[in-house]
Every structure is written in C-alpha cells, then in structure tokens.
Amino acid sequence: MSENGRAAGAARHRAASIAATALMLLQLMLLGTARAVAAPGDLIADVIVNEEYPDNVSPSVAFDGSYLYHTGYGGSVLHRINIPAAGATRQAAGQVDTPIQGASSGITTLTYDAGRGAFWGVGGDGLSIYLLRRTGVATLAFKVDPSTDRPGFEPVGDFPNEIKLAYDAADDTIWYSSDAGVRIYHYHTYASARGSAVLVDGTPYFDVNVPPNDMTTECGYSQSSGVTVGGAHLFVTISGCSILFEYTKTGTKVSALALTPYAGDSTEDVECDSLSYPVPVFWIRDAYDGHIRAFQQPSADSCLYGGGSTSAPTPTPTPAWTPTPTPTPTPNWTPTPTPTPTPNWTPTPTPTPPCSTTPTPTPTPTPTPTPLSG
C-alpha cells in the first residue's frame, strides 16, 4: 500500500473514531440532561419480560431500589429482572426466579415497602394481603372481609379478584383497587382483632367516576386499573387509555398526564422509581404485550420509590398483653406410708360351759301291792 493509501486509511479510521466518540458523548449528554430534553409523560425505557402466556399478561410490577419484580396471575414464583438501559426496547436480562412460599393462592400483584424492605402482595383470591420477603417467604398480614371491609364493592368483568396495591409510607397504609372498578379502598397495614382489614378513618375510600373528578373527559369512561403512591398524591392508570391520572388522597383529580408514546393496549399495574435514571419514572405494566415501560414523572418528588419514604415504618400496634397470673405454689405432697400388713388373726374359740355337777335324783320305785288271801 502506498503512503498516500495508508494516510487515507488512517484518516478514515480517525473519522470513524471521532464519529463514534461524538455519538457516545451525545448519548451521555442526552441522558445526563434528560430533565431538559424529555418531558413529563415521555417514554424513558422499555423492557419485555421473558414469560410465556398467560404469565406474560400478568399485571404486576414492583421496584425495590435495584431491580424490577413481577409475578404471574396468582403466581407461585417471584421474578426479578435487571433495570434496562434508557432508550430502545430490550428483552429482560438477569432474570432470577424465587419460589413463593406461604401464599396458598399465589401472589397476583406487588408493591414495595422500602421501610420494611419487603413487598406487600395480594393473593389470587383477591382478599389475602401478605408481606412478601425477597426470599419468597410470604406471611399473611390480614384478609379483606368482603361483607364488611369493602363497602360498595361491585365486581367488574371476568377477573374481579385482580387487585392492585400501593404502599403509602406517609401513614403506613395500603391502597387497594380492583381492576376495572371505580372505588379505591384505604387500609391500615395491621389486622383487626379478628384478622380482617381495618379501613382508615377519614379516608376509607374514594371513587374515580364522580364528576368533576372522573376520567370521562379524557378517556370517555372511568375506572381504576392500577394505583401507586410515593408522595402527596396517588397516580391511577386506566386500561385502554394512555392517560395517567393524579388524585389527592381524598379523591380530587389534580391532573391527567399523557403517556407518549404508548404502544401497548392496556395500562395496568404501576410503580414509582426515583432512582434508576436521571429523571424519576413510573413503571407501567401492560396487560397484554408483556412490556414494562418507564415514563417520566411530572416532578422530582411526585412519586418516590418504596411508598415515598425510606425511614422505618411505625411499628404495627400489638393488642395489649394481659399477663397470666402466677399460680400459688402447692406445698410438696408427702405420700402417706403404706401400713405394714397385720398377720392373719386366728379367732379365740368360745369356751364350752362346764357340765353341771348336781346329780340327777334317781326315782323311787312304787311298791307292787300284795293280794289278800281269803
């Protein structure tokens, strides 16, 4: 090769290196200045879970500060995957599967509690609420009594047991929303004396279909398909409509955030992530296509991960313990000695009275008369 040829090749190599470096710097610059480039509601990341039907249409997603988690519908396995890089759609990587133990009907949906370092999960029956460790061990916290703990509940559709949860660290409570329902219930994390759910006084529930706080203007109908919280307000998805609604905890609609672009059919479970990217995001699970997508939050503190606080939660109150009185000690019992057996007793015979010594008189014979001669 001539000197001119080598010079031309070196120039092309330098140009390619400069171009690659420039592209890398541009990507880093865009990612580092995402707050200025992206806008609230914009798509930041997208990952497809490695599950077959019907698990790939499971509506659950949770974030523990390092990884994403999901389960099947009433599933018996806790799936963990890596956080995907921002940008293009990616297949899930680094999957770790952990068997779930202690939940007889499996776990349908999850929400992360950063204070406890564990998930709150709802069983496949839609009524059992568990504290689920990352080791897969589930402990029943309480059961929702359908006759007393869900006032005004109306089952909707073919899956009335599909329940979404959101942990709220502000007051150590749980928000409970049935898929396609319009009422979101609010429970304490502790059980009643009979082991059932305890509604929060003052804010036991609110409805998303009451004007002017309904969703009809934006979507043409109203329903709750997923709920999350990590700050002052709740965020609610609506299946079939790519709008994320913001509500106060008393049910006032604050805003409607368009998710752009949303390529799925049905927004479902939603979880907050304020750590993984330069901008805070909502992770939203689609009901049908197996995607979990991250969309930018409205502000830096709209929805912090883990319920909104990393401090330890207020301990669950325990019923007052009544000590068992100490019993009065009983004096040591001295056994009565067994008496020594007495030898067989031979009765003394009764003496026979002595015979009488008085002689019996002998009778005197009567003389026979002598006949007279004549």
What pTM was computed for the model? Answer: 0.75
Query: What pLDDT is attached to residue 341?
Result: 54
Contact 242, 263 (CB under 8 A): no
Query: What pLDDT is attached to residue 198?
Result: 98
Ranges in the chain, pLDDT < 70: 1-37, 58, 310-374
Please write the tens of the pLDDT for every residue from 300-317. Answer: 999 999 999 755 555 555
Cβ-count burial 159-198 (b if 16+ within 10 Å, e if not):
eebbbbbbbbbeebbbbbbbbbbbbbbbbbbbbeeeebbb
Query: What pLDDT is attached to residue 59?
Result: 76
Please write the tens of the pLDDT for every residue from 233-263. Answer: 999 999 999 999 999 999 999 999 999 999 9
Query: What pLDDT is attached to residue 363?
Result: 52
Mean pLDDT of the chain: 82
Query: What pLDDT is attached to residue 159?
Result: 83
